[in-house]
Structure 1
């Protein structure tokens, strides 16, 4: 299937507007299962994968880097590096000592590990995963500048960063002629709306940032598989999802999602992703898949155009 590609922010990258979230590789998917799901993702016409240098450190026995390693072996075995946009992240919880003015050195160290694991010479989008606020913005951007000059990175983006530091980073880049973040990866979905909409959306619109939300399906809560309390016991992450999302507002959101999905004969996941794609500044949601049906949800999301009435119902159910 050939989806129309769109321009990725202020870059010359073109992307099918749904990104595979690589946190599942080496965690809920072993290597062969990861290869199979990646093959299907690309065969369906998608072309962008997001990961991080620390994925999947939370899985028992893992140290971090497992996701990049699996993606790298897949890229090498398929010989398709030039057809896939690889996004990875650096900073935060993976071997970083958080001393002042060390993030630049850390970034330069970690890029080598990521390139080796991913079996590639360059990263299309290298993102600040967790901003180190004790390091001056300029030092971080100068480290990225060196990597871009060396051809190891094409563009840079930011994920968990305060609105103040984001604006400062964009301003310093403009003032000093340094590389600028072209994208923002925030937590944003039908349930978790307030933080992005109140603190980041205006910045993203004004600065023309490509917004690529993570937790697009709220850890699976918006997939429609949680319709009653008993459903939560059937999932490894069920208890945490229940505590965070299973309240009156959460129930309303799921009810409306399921109703619209049923009427349109698509999955609730597709409706939740289509809602994100209809939001101002959103370029492409990030979502993970562990089975073929999830990839089909992605296909449905890109072919589904929600009506104003449907969007209004979802907005009302999820208002905060």
Structure 2
């Protein structure tokens, strides 16, 4: 495999760190950019930094992901997710680079009973979802070589996430109520990063749904986290798990009831599907153990 030059935005984030590590591990030349190295809200700076590095591909992981905060700070969400993504797309296009935009299941209404596929109509209900959809539209309009990769329920070694929170609370609390009426596909950052690296080495441009396969509710996910962590990490959990309804935990931003995404593009483009989420979870816990 030839050595590639890849620029990664949001390189200090949960997904960004694993993408950078994987690329380095496989011998590619990587420029990891966080806010200090390149402010995506500054178009001139994006053009300069991306232009000087001259990447083969830009993997755009930087995003405003504070779902509830976005409801009250609309400008910040759009500045980063829409304007920032436009800037990255313009700079990548000028540099002749492919661009990967990491998007989300929140671009859908989350009310459907079937898994969403790539060409279903989007209808985001939250500011976060709307701003991420705006970013998709801008990337599609401004880049001639783009991959839009929607993912869901992401967790990994770096940063805060649901799995780490449950491991902690499960050992501290006598009882944990976890939502059992929202379903999705938990996605391990390492599995997603591997898919992104495979994707950028092709010209199979377009929209992709990339999560670990199979689905569960948050409650079922927590049950699996406890079972696997007891087995792999030898942890003892004091918390008794109880399923509950979304209404018991009112939040500023509406949460999708159904985040399950069909991997139509992965199949029709001849890629191997991403492994089941439970296998990813086990590997993540093994990584934590080390």
If the TM-score is normalised by the length of the shorter chain, which range does it land in? Answer: 0.3 to 0.5
Q: Which protein has the bigger strand share?
A: 2
Q: Which protein has the bigger helix share?
A: 1
